[in-house]
Amino acid sequence: MADLGRWTRAVRTGMGADPAVGAVVPPIYLSTNYLFDGMGQPGAYDYSRSNNPTRDLLSDALATLEGGAGATAVGTGLAAITLIAEAFIPAGGRAVVQHDAYGGTWRLFAFLAEQGRFDVDFVDFNDPAAFQAALGQNPAVVWIETPSNPLLRITDIAAASAAAHDAGALVVADNTFLSPLLQRPLEHGADLVVHSTTKFLNGHSDVVGGAVIAATQEQHERLRLWGNALGLTAGAFDSYLALRGIRTLDARLRVHQENAAVLVEVLRTHPAVARLYYPGLPEHPGHEVAARQQSGFGSLISLELHGGVQAAERFLDGLLIFHLAESLGGVESLICHPDSMTHAGMSPEARATAGITGGLLRMSVGVESADDLATVVSEALERAS
């Protein structure tokens, strides 16, 4: 048989394999429990928190896509982050987390540190001296998120992983912003990949979910055990929908990226725009690394308007198509004001250090017609001028 590529194998996960009635699309197993063959003789499944056939299919697809030994599908992206924190950071240990990580990641690590569970350093990974100093404290885990949220800063995964490994740390990469079709951190040396499947993987803004993909079987086994012990595992219906979303990931991403490229051209020369953040731009400070470690620049664009928070308000007031909402990666275009929305959970000092200002907007470019998107963004820029 032909040696099928990663994407073909992933998109076809579970297809045509139903032993009961020959369903092409694998059925969803909602049952919480499963029959034992006899006393002391469980079948392949016993209880759905521990194991569920629908969740297993989602995990298989994710492990295939990221090139990992296995994937643990959990209830939310933050459950995936919690799982790693609990399974891999010992009591009194230390985590080094990128300072401009997702707001919820920042808050979770800050809460756990405040609670005395472990210590955390939030570090600018583009500051080599600060990064090296943090590694000198023997962290158990180094947490990368690239491109970062919302300024789309790029971290060189291979270089950061090598330095972290020298310091004896486990490397985690949050790959939510790109999905495994555009970046595969395990190939660059990361040990674990985290996803909020809520975003591009599900892609339809109707499931909250998460996953951890491990490079080795041993790490995967540990995550599986802890995921069950902590009760973080994903529900069957959510798993079914997330896998359904993954089947169109490649098709969606192509349109997402095409549309993003059109909007970048609209924004790039407009006088109302003070700064444009998109790793596909040659002047973006992370462009070269992004071009090397990614196979696409994604469909998130951040921009800072000259007029600060007032200009941002005018931009948003009457904006068509783009809904003002948190989250990203769905087929619908969204816009968010990080300062008052996604990143409001960070301390004001941390927000300032991370460069999140009142005039900053983040767009998640959807799959609507590029012409319509360009028109409404041009109109909004005129209002903001």
Pick 178 or 272: Cβ nearer ligand PLP: 178
Pick 53 or 75: Cβ nearer ligand PLP: 75
**Catalytic annotation on 47?**
no
d(Cα 150, Cα 99) in Å, to the nearest integer?
12
Pick 141 or 273: Cβ nearer ligand PLP: 141
d(Cα 370, Cα 31) in Å, to the nearest integer?
43
Nearest to 103 by CA among 346, 300, 347: 346
Q: Which amino acid is at 63?
A: A
Contact between 199 and ligand PLP by CB under 6 A: the answer reads: yes
Contact between 102 and ligand PLP by CB under 6 A: the answer reads: yes
Nearest to 317 by CA among 361, 275, 287: 361
Nearest to 292 by CA among 135, 144, 155: 155
Contact between 77 and ligand PLP by CB under 6 A: the answer reads: yes
d(Cα 149, Cα 353) in Å, to the nearest integer?
13
Q: Give 362's DSSP letter.
A: E
Nearest to 276 by CA among 118, 152, 147, 105: 152
CB 283, min distance to ligand PLP, A:
24
CB 88, min distance to ligand PLP, A:
17
Contact between 100 and ligand PLP by CB under 6 A: the answer reads: no
Q: Which of 10, 73, 78, 141 binds ligand PLP (CB under 6 A)?
A: 78
Q: Which amino acid is at 244?
A: R
Which residues partner with 171 through β-bridges? 142
Q: Of 49, 222, 247, 275, which is the active-site residue?
A: 49
Q: Which of 149, 202, 205, 233 binds ligand PLP (CB under 6 A)?
A: 149
Pick 76 or 293: Cβ nearer ligand PLP: 76
Contact between 72 and ligand PLP by CB under 6 A: the answer reads: no
Q: Of 174, 191, 238, 339, which is the active-site residue?
A: 174
Q: Which residues contact 230 (CB under 8 A, 6 or more apart)?
A: 82, 83, 86
Contact between 196 and ligand PLP by CB under 6 A: the answer reads: yes
CB 233, min distance to ligand PLP, A:
14
Contact between 145 and ligand PLP by CB under 6 A: the answer reads: yes
Q: Which amino acid is at 282?
A: P
Distance from chain centroid for Cα 118: 24
Buried b (16+ CB within 10 A) or exposed e, 21-44: eeeeebebbeeeebeeeeeeeeee
Q: Which residue lies nearest ligand PLP, judged by its C-beta?
A: 77
**Catalytic annotation on 174?**
yes
**Catalytic annotation on 199?**
yes
CB 176, min distance to ligand PLP, A:
4
Cite the beta strand spans of 228-312 per DSSP E. Answer: 273-277, 300-305
70 within 8 A of 59, measured Cβ to Cβ: yes
**Catalytic annotation on 240?**
no
CB 211, min distance to ligand PLP, A:
10
Contact between 146 and ligand PLP by CB under 6 A: the answer reads: no
Q: Which residues are at the interface with ligand PLP (CB under 6 A)?
A: 76-78, 102, 104-105, 145, 149, 174, 176-177, 196, 198-199, 208, 210
Would you please indicate which residues are annotated as catalytic (active-site) residues? 49, 102, 174, 199
